Amino acid sequence: MKKIVAFMLGLLMAFPVLANEGMWLPLLLNRNYEDMKANGLQLTPEELYSVNNSSLKDAIISFGGFCTGEIISPNGLILTNHHCGFSAIQTHSDVENDYLSDGFWAKSYEEEKSNEGLYARFLVRMEDVTNRITKELTDDMSEDDRAAKIREIGKTIADEAKEDTHYDANVKSFFHGNEFYLFVYETYNDVRLVGAPPSSVGKFGGDTDNWMWPRHTGDFSLFRVYSGPDGKPAEYAEENIPLTPKHYLPISLDGVKEGDFTMIFGYPGSTDRYLSSYGVQQAIDVYNPSVVEVRDLKLQVMRKYMDMDPATRIQYASKYARTSNYWKYYIGQTEQLQNNNVYAKKVAIENDFDKWVNANASRKVKYGSTLQLLQEGYKESDEYVKGNVYVIEAGLLGAELPLYAVRFSRTLNAYFEAMEAMEKKLDEAKNDEEEASIEEEYQGKMTAIKESLKASAEEYFKDYNTMLDQELFATTMGLYYNNIATEQQPEFLKKAAKKYKGNFEEYATDIYEESFLTSMESVKEFLEDPDEDDLEEDMGVMIGSQLYATYVGYNQNRKASDDKMAKGYRLFTAGLREMNPDKNYYPDANSTMRVTYGTVGSYYPKDAVFYDYYTSSKGILQKEDPNDDEFMVPDYLTDLIKSEDFGPYANEKGELPVCFIHNTDITGGNSGSPVINGKGQLIGCAFDGNWEAMSGDIFFEEELQRTISVDARYILFIVDKYAGAKNLIEEMTLVKDNMGPAVDKEAPLEEKAMAN
């Protein structure tokens, strides 16, 4: 035993897991390149990011704006997570064709399924425009004036960038308003579902395993991006063709071992790495627990109805998953903020900052108010935090009726405005011909609005259960009334509590019987002859309107404290970078493309516990439980694993690898990101972080932070051996070369992919 322990310790020492904090802008990777190269990168900077030639960035997409995907074939095949494609899979599912339970695999282009509203966005280029914006800003500007000027100049820059092109463009703020970058994108709106494993593979472990290691989840799905016949972006049409990408990722069969270099390109959503100790305390004490207590109740209601009816289970699968994911996230973040002493770490940084500021007179003038602004801002906002959470989580995002009512009435108001404008112009018309022209113009607009609302109603009610929503309304409104100060509640809630003597079930029954917005039939009937007075008097519309007004009121009440925090963070971030001029700082994530790199590595989550760096299919059978829907395993997959028929996807031990961990720095939005080796080859697909470092969005935990990824070999095994979708395997480029660089270093990157 001592020899084995000594060997393990030697192995860990031989392959140290490097701390690789940072989400880096691809334009600025030259600052990190030597470090990346020293740790295993074999590509040039131009092969990572280039505007004029194909590079790795050209294989990476923003998948619908909420996840990341990557192109893995010359025919526009997209790999992303199962949970990223979950809503699309659910949309195409019903009781007869339950793709959530059974999986879906297109054996031809004709079988692939279109997805309205889903897009693939490629980064064309990015540019530092900081000087152009900051030269127009002054220290004596109010926060409103500063924000307005930034928006004005940013819009001008973006408009110039996309002039005479089909590109999109925007300017984003970095380092809390200290730097600004332009991003130019090419967006394709025809993205089709190609393949997805059953949820028993793609969500194996469910809520129990979510954010946990070890993991045995095949969290992937496949889509395809289509272009018009000319290769340019186009709306869905039968004549569209699979996109020929500028670059796609070859897939390595070599796998990973401890200490291997890994790199992730993706679109991380948001982090708060510069959050102050005051912000940490507010998150622990108020914000996070408030989100958890509301979502916990919502999940209970949804699960009750989903367990009762297969159709409801399919209807609410995606809604439940979205609610559950961040319910558990905030539980974990609160726990790890405390376990990892993040508050104390932030206080230490602030103490160092304060000493540095006060050691120099000019710094005191520039930064002397920084920490005071942050302290005052949080103290002033404390009384509104819980109420603001509740108006969103229990109100606008509790039951579906209020938000649907807000959106419906807002759209229909455009109909009434058009009617009013038409009547005014008709009064001014000079003859019958002019009247006819006016009526034709405005009736066309009004008809289009009604048809749009009918179409959205069909989409909305397709995944809607009235009784479930009614119970959600009753329970969330009861929680809202009992947990939030009366003066911060919308008027309807106070009146209902008095009228119904706190019986919100009875109140909900009346609301859902009276509102025309609780069934598709009554919505369509109303739209036959819309009446403005009837709309305003509808109980659902009234509730939605008051909840939205309450939400706006919270923002107005917090305006002064928000301004203090905005200025405080801008000064704090600038001051930290000035205080540590030799440190290579990175900006918080903000849904723009980032690159992060690190190494594969095991870790010790707590005393006397060791987690290895990979899992295998053996763990699937060890976790299997036919009585628990989170741990059910398809019979055919069980047979394949037991037969050990893994083909070329086995590792050197003959095992089938399933997942692995590495210390790259990711967050929400990175879901679906490619894990790439030093040669530019795909080795996995990132899908989660680990429980012990769930405070990582606020403070990167060097020893604990891990990315959990599904191994590319398990993905290929499921596609090939389990699904029999060899048509998909055949269009990919598979590489097996553990003897050195897989390609000629002189060849262009797209030729390298083909060569392999």
CA 241 to chain centre: 28
Q: Are 63 and 84 in contact (CB under 8 A)?
A: yes
Distance (Å) of CA 307 to CA 299, 310, 313, 316, 532: 12, 7, 7, 11, 40
The pairing of strands 603-606 and 221-227 is unpaired
**519 belongs to the catalytic site:** no
Residue tagged active-site, from 62, 82, 83, 545 = 83
Nearest to 589 by CA among 86, 30, 52, 23: 23
- Rounded to the nearest 10 degrees, the angle between the axes of helix 504-514 and helix 539-557 is 120
Residue tagged active-site, from 87, 671, 673, 709 = 671
**3-class secondary structure, 271:** coil
Upstream peptide bond of 214 is cis (omega within 30 degrees of 0): yes
Burial of 86 (0-12, 13-18, 19+ CB in 10 A): buried
Q: Are 229 and 241 in contact (CB under 8 A)?
A: yes
Q: How far apart are CA 596 and CA 267, in angstroms?
A: 11
**247 belongs to the catalytic site:** no
**219 belongs to the catalytic site:** yes
> H helices then E strands: how many in the chain?
29, 22
Q: How far apart are CA 255 and CA 599, in angstroms?
A: 13
Q: Are 684 and 664 in contact (CB under 8 A)?
A: no
Give me the helices (H) in 429-538, please.
Answer: 432-462, 466-483, 491-499, 504-514, 520-528, 532-537
Q: How far apart are CA 121 and CA 62, in angstroms?
A: 5
Specify the amino acid at residue 544. G
Distance (Å) of CA 77 to CA 113, 224, 247, 587: 13, 4, 11, 31
DSSP 58: G
Specify the amino acid at residue 414. A
Give the DSSP letter string of 570-600: HHHHHHHHHH-TTS---PPP-SS-EEEEEEB
Burial of 460 (0-12, 13-18, 19+ CB in 10 A): middle
Radius of gyration of the chain (CA): 27
Specify the amino acid at residue 298. K
Catalytically active residues, by annotation: 83, 219, 671
